Amino acid sequence: MTRFEVVRDPLWNNIRLDPEALAVVDTPAVQRLRYVRQLGHAFLVYPGATHTRFEHALGAYHLARRVLDALEDAGDVRPDAQERSRLKLAALLHDIGHYPFSHALEEAGLPHHEALAARHLTNGALADRLSELGTPAERLLPLIRGEARGPLVGLVAGSLDVDKLDYLSRDAWMCGVPYGVIDVDRLLAALTVAPGPDGRATLALHEKGLAALESLLFAKYQMYRNVYWHHAVRSATGMFKRLVRCAIASRRLSPDAVALATDDGLIHELLGNDPTGLARALRERRLAKRALDLPATDLPTATPAWPSDDPDLLERVEDRLAHEVGLAPGGLFLDFPAKPDMLALDLPLVKRDGAVTQLAGTDAGAHLGLPRVAAELYRSARRLRVFVTGPAAVPAKRIVDLVMTPREEVVVRLEQGRSLMAG
């Protein structure tokens, strides 16, 4: 096949779909992404945020194609036709296993979406098309999961992958905010290939792209602070996590059914049988209100991880707290999201004299200003919040003390029936 088609896109204007994309894009697994919103419940705050994983997938494919063309034109690397196809398909299909409503269900304890990609890539029409293209699932999964080796794997999963370049730009554009503006053209022009720490060739950045890279990092910080972790978005996310966890626990829904659902399909199922009332409340935008909202900068620097990485314990804590402040189970949500690698970097930097150094950890601060203050920026983006569905007094000091309590001690207090907010 030599034909191609052009799709009009509000962000990148024209996206050219080459034969390998045309072979897979109309399969049911890929078309499902049209009905999975990129930003979950963010549309309840930013009405334009109804863009989908499908649009994002096309954008990532488009950027992968541009990077490969630029690297070849510069003579930095010349992958063969099969490798080019594999990289572009991995970019197109990197979110193929994604749940409805963004990352909320991963926070709720379901497996990460990368782990679900295999089910879509190895079954049905998509698997057939990939086999016909000579790029079966086993050649794509390592790229999607960040486990592959090779000079260009960083295009799909890395510090400067096409996923980040598209979602930050697209999310800001569709939300109507100026925070995610990135000089994508400059970044793409500055990409090259250079030896990594192990001596193997890997995706790298020319020194001329440092300012654009710093703008990407700051855009990411701003988007988390103002969009992804907006208080109303997090309230809706907390309600939705509890709603789905209750439906799975009561066997009204199976994890497999949730993983294969679309946004509207899942909400329809939840509305049909919802003893919690949360589905209807979300549908009507009756969100839990903030009873507490503290910046992480008001807390000690090091905090236990259980509020963000142990959804089972978090649910038990929430219900005990609800009881202690006079609310019914499911009437209180404790929210302290975490993304410690938010501003992390790990890629080689090619200096103007040709010397290669590493942009990673503290070494990145020698070339960029932002990594030197990354820890404080991350803390300023995080907020500790308690949302409630009814009137309740939530003492700030007691909640801070609780969040600073080690996981093991919290478990003991729960099992012994002791108050979580006792002085």
Q: Can you tell me the mean pLDDT for 162-172? A: 96
pLDDT of residue 1: 46
From CA 219, how far away is CA 21, in angstroms rounded? 30
Checking if the pLDDT of 128 tops 90, the result is: yes
pLDDT of residue 238: 97
Checking if the pLDDT of 97 tops 80, the result is: yes
- What kind and span of H or E run contains 7? strand 5-9
Compute the mean pLDDT over every residue in the chain, rounded to the nearest whole number: 93
pLDDT of residue 78: 87
Of the listed ranges 2-11, 21-30, 46-55, 283-292, the least confidently predicted one is 2-11
pLDDT of residue 111: 87
pLDDT bucket at 423, cuts 50 / 70 / 90: low
Computed from CA positions of residues 363, 336, 33, 51, in that sequence, does the dihedral angle turn out positive or negative? Answer: negative
Q: Taking the mean position of all CA atoms in its chain, how far away is CA 21?
A: 23
- What kind and span of H or E run contains 193? strand 191-195
Q: 391-412, pLDDT tens digit by residue? A: 999 999 999 999 999 999 999 9
pLDDT of residue 76: 82
Q: Can you tell me the mean pLDDT for 285-293? A: 98
Checking if the pLDDT of 124 tops 80, the result is: yes
Q: 202-254, pLDDT tens digit by residue? A: 999 999 999 999 999 999 999 999 999 999 999 999 999 999 999 999 999 99
Q: 316-371, pLDDT tens digit by residue? A: 999 999 999 999 999 999 999 999 989 888 899 999 999 999 888 777 777 887 78
Which residues lie closer than 8 Å to 202 by C-beta, 6 or more apart? 151, 153, 154, 193, 194, 195, 196, 347, 348
- Tokens for 303? 């905090």
Checking if the pLDDT of 53 tops 60, the result is: yes
The SS3 call for residue 181 is coil
From CA 234, how far away is CA 227, in angstroms rounded? 10
Computed from CA positions of residues 204, 209, 211, 215, in that sequence, does the dihedral angle turn out positive or negative? Answer: negative
- Tokens for 196? 């990594």
Checking if the pLDDT of 2 tops 60, the result is: no
